Amino acid sequence: MAVLQNIRVKFGVVISVIIALALLSFIIDPSTLESAINSMSAKYDVGNIDGKKISYTDFQADIDRYTTINEMLTGSSVQNEQTQTQIRDAAWQELLDKHLFIKNAKAAGISVGEAEMLDLTTGNNVSPMIASNPAFADENGNFSVDNLVNFIQQIDSDNSGQLRIYWNYLQNAIYTQEFYAKYAALFSGSNYQNALQLDDAVVSGNTTANIDYVMASYPMANDSTISVSSKEIKDYYNSHKDFFKQNASRDMEYVVYEVVPSEKDIQETAETMDKAYSEFAEASNMKTFLLKNSERSLSEYWYKDGELSTISQELNDAVFAGNDITPVIRKGNSFFAGKVMDSKMISDSVYVKHILLQGDGAKALADSLAGVAAKGGSFSNLAAQYSVDQNSATDGEIGNIGWMTQTYMIPGFESVITAEVGKPYVINSQYGSHVVVVSKKTAPVVKKQVAILEKTALASKETFNNFYSQANTFATIAGGTYEGYRKALDSTKVYSHSMNITEATSTYGTIDQAKEVTRWIFDNKAGKASNIITVNNNYFFIAAVKAVHKEGYKPVNEVSSSISQKLTSDKLMAKTKAEVAEKIKGLTTLEQVAEALNSTVTNQTAVSFSTAGYFGAVEPAVLGAASVAKEGEICGPVDGIMGVYVFKVSDRKAGSFYTEDDARMAASQKVQYASQMILPVMMQNADVKDNRARFF
């Protein structure tokens, strides 16, 4: 009843707000109220796709569905950050497909009908997504219609609903893929290259020439005769506004106090390590000892020389120098000691065969088959006759798993690394009972099993409080303002970091998973400073907002300097070009031009006029002009990137190395590149807003 009452109390607040909004609607213009509500709700939207708002709740439901699918496919509910990102990307891509791509594809006249879907899922032209799906494969790994039918029949009786989720996922993926395939075919089919275009491409690809040119570099010093007015800056801004689009970002500063163990903490850990070390050498039950005293449990891994260096090079050297037990070794704030538990000549890789048996009597049958194989019975024949696993057929022989190493190992099979070659034996694993035989090995090397005693110094409560106190002093002086933040810097002499961040920023320097800082920055106005923001329990941030850059176009005052530089450069280029034109009037040779411009003649041989053969030997502006220039005629001036050019084309030749197939291939590559831009262009035209970084 108490819980119910609590819910009612909370609902009462919500209802009050709803009533208040309803009353406001009588005195506020409805369109204004709607705009305000939309503005409030937009802040909590994950995105907007072609006018469709994507709420956090709906998107999280999609993430949950894809998480379920991932768990079904992998058999694991463990997800690292990379997997979570991939799941979120898949959920977002599905929304883009549903609300944007398929909508546009249908507008282009493309459709995928029910009969087509039936044929792709259960008909005569099954999609590769089903035909190559292991869930529908037979014992030989081939697609089985019976297995597919059996799967579909089980959907309605599956109380978990997971089979339904997976089947819907497959159907949706096939449906979407058909639209992509048809749209791509429509797109590529529109790329018609007529005979004239093909001939022109072949001629351009086969034409080379020598180009002699003289370059007059642009002046490096400022030219006092060139000026740019505020009107010119504004006109350029208005005519090139798309150049100045920006995503929402913030200029911010932050200080961070990292909680690290004090010398006292380290010394106490060293003393604890010394006490444990004296028992370490004599421990009779090493597994239990390490569980109680070490941060690293006992491992049955066989180390070869060099592998322990990932823990400590000094530890590795001490173990493989022949010491049964190493001295205590310090690495940073961690302490290590190693004890050799066993040493053998062991191979890195072993070739493994097995027969998998399951069900009642599996263990007894495994013992029997191991005996048959040991007496010379054909292992592959026994595997073909008895093994549940008919898919393991490396090198074409049933029962062959193939090469295995300690890091590429089926759980429960660890003993194969030290097993005797050609001697069958039985292993019991989570999959059942296995008759196993190692048929060959790589050359053995010295390896050791090593017990490792490890202790790392951690900050004590006293140390933690000391760092918190320092951060609190800074935050108190800052007083919640950027002006106070600057005063705190002067007072405490702490280093301040400056960054421009977006809502996607989660890393500050070497500190990961610091999204709390980003959220605070984006929730506050310029001139504000934070209180202590704790990250990962061992970093104390105090952050300040310097400037807010809203999504849209940068204000003209923020870009006026760069526009002024651009316009000044353009005017300087035009002035230089005019001066060069005046200096070379009446000159008939490039040598005369070079002398007039105080430069030299440069020669580039066998320059191709095809974009496919262009590798930057000549500036693009010069190359374009040279492609249509008369042979032997002095041309220019042409303004390039580095300077102004005067040039002459000589020895133009036509070869036969660039064929029609080359031209078609080049055209096809352009289409392929352009097709990759289909969805991004659709997203740009639909003004898609992706706010996922605000939440994840």
Residue type present at position 34:
E
3-state SS of 112-165 is CCHHHHHHHHHCCCCCHHHHCCHHHECCCCCECHHHHHHHHHHHCCCCCCHHHH
Residue type present at position 423:
K
Q: What is the pLDDT of residue 616?
A: 64
User: Quick check: helix, strand or coil at residue 676?
Assistant: coil
Q: What is the pLDDT of residues 377-420, one digit of tens each?
A: 999 999 999 999 888 888 889 999 999 999 889 889 999 999 99
DSSP β-bridge partners for residue 649: 211, 631
Whole-angstrom Cα distance, residue 499 to residue 253? 6
Whole-angstrom Cα distance, residue 376 to residue 441? 20
pLDDT band at residue 9, thresholds of 50, 70 and 90?
very low
| Average pLDDT, integer, range 576-588 | 95
| 261: CB partners within 8 A, 6+ apart | 269, 333, 457, 458, 459, 460, 463
Of 66-70, 258-262, 284-288, 673-677, minimum mean pLDDT range: 673-677
Q: What is the pLDDT of residues 640-670, one digit of tens each?
A: 999 999 999 998 888 878 888 888 888 888 8
Q: What is the pLDDT of residue 406?
A: 92
| Average pLDDT, integer, range 81-97 | 93
Q: Is the pLDDT of residue 609 over 80?
A: no
For CA atoms 608, 609, 615, 616, the dihedral sign is positive
**% of the chain exceeding 70 in pLDDT:** 93
Q: What is the pLDDT of residue 97?
A: 96
Residue whose C-alpha is closest to residue 365's, from 435, 456, 277, 461: 435
Q: Is the pLDDT of residue 24 over 60?
A: no
Strand 601-608 to 634-639 pairing: unpaired
Q: Is the pLDDT of residue 5 over 70?
A: no
Alpha carbon of residue 286 to chain centroid: 42
Q: What is the pLDDT of residues 437-461, one digit of tens each?
A: 999 999 999 999 999 999 999 999 9
Q: What is the pLDDT of residues 260-272, one digit of tens each?
A: 999 999 999 999 9
Q: How many CA atoms lie within 13 A of 432 on its CB side?
A: 20
Of 28-42, 241-255, 303-317, 528-542, minimum mean pLDDT range: 28-42
Query: Chain-wide mean pLDDT for the chain?
Result: 89
| Average pLDDT, integer, range 116-142 | 86
| Average pLDDT, integer, range 1-9 | 29
Q: Is the pLDDT of residue 566 over 70?
A: yes
Of 66-75, 378-387, 513-522, minimum mean pLDDT range: 66-75
| Average pLDDT, integer, range 213-239 | 94
Q: What is the pLDDT of residue 251?
A: 97
- Residue reference for tokens 């977006």: 502
Alpha carbon of residue 632 to chain centroid: 53
Q: What is the pLDDT of residues 522-531, one digit of tens each?
A: 999 999 999 9
Burial of 305 (0-12, 13-18, 19+ CB in 10 A): middle
User: Quick check: helix, strand or coil at residue 336?
Assistant: strand
Q: Is the pLDDT of residue 544 over 50?
A: yes
Whole-angstrom Cα distance, residue 422 to residue 370? 11
**Angle of helix 263-280 relative to helix 286-293, nearest 10 degrees?**
170
Q: What is the pLDDT of residue 359?
A: 87
| Average pLDDT, integer, range 248-271 | 97
Q: Is the pLDDT of residue 30 over 80?
A: no
**Angle of helix 30-42 relative to helix 2-27, nearest 10 degrees?**
140
pLDDT band at residue 42, thresholds of 50, 70 and 90?
low
| 293: CB partners within 8 A, 6+ apart | 276, 279, 280, 453, 455
pLDDT band at residue 20, thresholds of 50, 70 and 90?
very low
b/e 629-667 (16+ beta carbons within 10 angstroms → b): beeeebbbbbbbeebbbbbbbeebeeeeebeeebbeebb
Q: What is the pLDDT of residues 478-500, one digit of tens each?
A: 999 999 999 999 999 999 999 99
Q: What is the pLDDT of residue 575?
A: 96
Of 362-371, 619-628, 634-643, minimum mean pLDDT range: 619-628
Burial of 248 (0-12, 13-18, 19+ CB in 10 A): middle
Q: What is the pLDDT of residue 38?
A: 47
Selected residue with higher pLDDT from 72 and 639: 639
Q: Is the pLDDT of residue 27 over 60?
A: no
Q: What is the pLDDT of residue 294?
A: 96
Would you say 439 and 421 are in contact if contact means Cβ atoms under 8 Å apart?
yes
User: Quick check: helix, strand or coil at residue 586?
Assistant: coil
**What end-to-end distance do the CA atoms of the chain give, in Å?**
36
Cα dihedral: 152, 157, 158, 159 (round 10): 160
Q: What is the pLDDT of residue 660?
A: 84
- Residue reference for tokens 């740009």: 684
| Average pLDDT, integer, range 343-367 | 94
pLDDT band at residue 611, thresholds of 50, 70 and 90?
low
Whole-angstrom Cα distance, residue 452 to residue 124? 60
Q: Tally Cβ neighbours within 10 Å of residue 374.
A: 14
Q: Is the pLDDT of residue 10 over 80?
A: no
Whole-angstrom Cα distance, residue 354 to residue 171? 37
| Average pLDDT, integer, range 535-551 | 96
Alpha helices, DSSP H, located in 457-512: 461-478, 482-492
